[in-house]
Amino acid sequence: MSKVKVLNFTISLDGYGAGPNQAMETPLGVGGEELHNWMVKTATFRKMYGEAGGDEGVDNDFAVRGLTNIGAWILGRNMFTLSRGEWTDDGWKGWWGENPPYHGPVFVLTHHPRASMPMEGGTTFHFVTEGIHVALERARKAAGEKDVRILGGVHVIRQYLQARLVDELHIPIAPIALGSGEHLYSGINLLELGYKLTEHVSTPDAMHLVFTKS
């Protein structure tokens, strides 16, 4: 049966999923790129971008799980672009170049309508103005028997958690502190929402926690 998952969404030791002051040079905020040091070293990540080599082992196993049986993706506008307000014809097509690594339908939450954007490699960005439930309904339909993965950012994940729509939550904790930014657990009580820790394993670059909705 299709499930809704948050996978490989890394936070800092002090709970931030992005640093402050997002800019073109710092798309994940100041210090945010360091959250994902565990992932960028893996063979799976390098393969996604056409590169050879990379580490095997536990971190790579989690990177593989983040791509397995995913039929559709959901993300917030803030993960797609820096711009706010009405869309402009600025040629922006996301942070990932002409061939994004999703290779399937991606549903972008936004307050402003925009036509779907097909990309190379099978990725198509669809822009959803009707909120998280409609985005999930469309993603489920597109995914079929496969799972739906919610990419983020923090605000989007919090909304889906609060609505009790996430079946599985994989949170790697990076061994860094950001001090400020977007805090994942602000207003979130995982126990009250029905989530239990079902898996945990540590590597030098991350502590991997998996929560499952009971």
Question: In this structure, is residue 92 part of a structural domain?
Answer: no
The CATH number assigned to the domain holding 77 equals 3.40.430.10
The answer to whether 207 and 43 are in contact (CB under 8 A) is no
pLDDT tens digits, 157-205: 999 999 999 999 999 999 999 999 999 999 999 999 999 999 999 999 9
Question: In this structure, is residue 6 part of a structural domain?
Answer: no
Beta bridge partners of 19: none
Question: In this structure, is residue 182 part of a structural domain?
Answer: yes
Residue 205 sits in which domain range?
A: 13-20+27-84+100-213
Question: In this structure, is residue 93 part of a structural domain?
Answer: no
Q: Kindly state the DSSP code that residue 42 receives in the 8-state scheme.
A: B
Q: Number of folded domains in the chain?
A: 1
Q: Which two tokens stand for residue 114?
A: 């925009």
pLDDT tens digits, 35-82: 999 999 999 999 988 889 999 999 999 999 999 999 999 999 999 998
- In which order are the strands placed within the sheet that holds 168-173? 117-118, 124-128, 105-109, 70-76, 147-152, 4-6, 168-173, 207-213, 195-202
Tally the residues of the chain.
Answer: 214
**How many helices and strands (H and E) does the chain possess?**
6, 11
- Cα–Cα distance measured from residue 188 to residue 9, given in angstroms and rounded to the nearest whole number: 16
DSSP code string of 131-146: -HHHHHHHHHHHHTTS
Question: In this structure, is residue 209 part of a structural domain?
Answer: yes
Radius of gyration of the chain (CA): 16
Q: For the whole model, what pTM was predicted? A: 0.94
Question: In this structure, is residue 124 part of a structural domain?
Answer: yes
Question: In this structure, is residue 42 part of a structural domain?
Answer: yes
